[in-house]
Amino acid sequence: MKHGLFITFEGADGCGKTTQIKLFTEYLQKNGYEVVLTREPGSKGLGENIRKILLDYDGEVSPVCESFLFLADRAQNVDIIVKKNIEKGKIVISDRHIDSTVAYQGYGRKLDLEQIKELNNIATSGLKPDLTFVFDIDIETSMQRVGKTKDRMEASGKEFFERVQNGYLEIAKNEPNRVKVINANDTVENINKQVISLFEDLIN
Ligand code: TYD
């Protein structure tokens, strides 16, 4: 591949993204692709510090402030990691990206969706993932997986997460070519097969 690919994994907390990213990365590497993994919030260096502020701070946080911090981390991730590695022909996988801000801050915190999209555009200078997986999990399972020790975002309550879930499905409806919804209540093996098959559809 001359130009690499940018693939993102999205979904509510506890949807099983991390396991699937690991399996998909193994598959890609076995097939000779060079893979670079990153995540939001908290790509290398400065991003780690922004992540700590976002998840560990336990005082009141304005939703707009929260959005800007996620967006600041995103700009850093795109400029420092994503773009450079795509240009080198690698497959860059990001654990969360633009759709998290639309789902969590837009639908979840009820901020203006058009403004969030515009801000996303500024943070990424218009770069969009080639493929995005949204893992659709039922809220009860998601809540159980997150357990009792919650970070600041996870402590936002059931109704918040219902809005986030619904937000992800709306995003997928609006951009069906890029965003693929996967039933995350299925087995790990079946989900992995679906991810691989959708990736193969993209490259073939
Ligand atoms: P993390 O521990 O990475 O969660 P997960 O393993 O579920 O990805 O925490 C990231 C949290 O931040 C998660 O609750 C989603 C939230 N988030 C937003 O609210 N907006 C964003 O733009 C991003 C990137 C994440």
Nearest CA to ligand 1 atom 11: 153
Helices 139-146, 158-174: axis angle to 10 degrees equals 120
Q: What is the pLDDT of residue 2?
A: 62
Ligand 1: centre distance to CA 204 (Å): 32
User: What residues in the chain have per-residue pLDDT under 50?
Assistant: none
The whole-angstrom separation of Cα 40 and Cα 195 is 20
Which domain does 37 fall in, by range?
5-203
Mutate to test the pocket of ligand 1, among 9, 10, 13, 142 (most ligand atoms within 8 A of CB): 13
Specify the CATH number for the domain of residue 55.
3.40.50.300
Length of the chain: 204
Overall pTM surpassing 0.75 (yes/no): yes
Structure tokens of 17?
Answer: 């993204």
The whole-angstrom separation of Cα 100 and Cα 74 is 11
Q: What is the pLDDT of residue 181?
A: 98
SS3 170: helix
The whole-angstrom separation of Cα 73 and Cα 79 is 10
Q: What is the pLDDT of residue 150?
A: 84
The whole-angstrom separation of Cα 134 and Cα 179 is 7
The whole-angstrom separation of Cα 164 and Cα 13 is 10
Q: Token match 């998601």: residue?
A: 142
Nearest CA to ligand 1 atom 4: 13
Q: Are 5 and 35 in contact (CB under 8 A)?
A: no
Q: What is the pLDDT of residue 3?
A: 79
For the chain, what is the domain count?
1
Nearest CA to ligand 1 atom 12: 153
Pocket lined around ligand 1, Cβ cut-off 6 Å: 13, 40-41, 55, 70, 95-96, 100-101, 104-105, 153-154
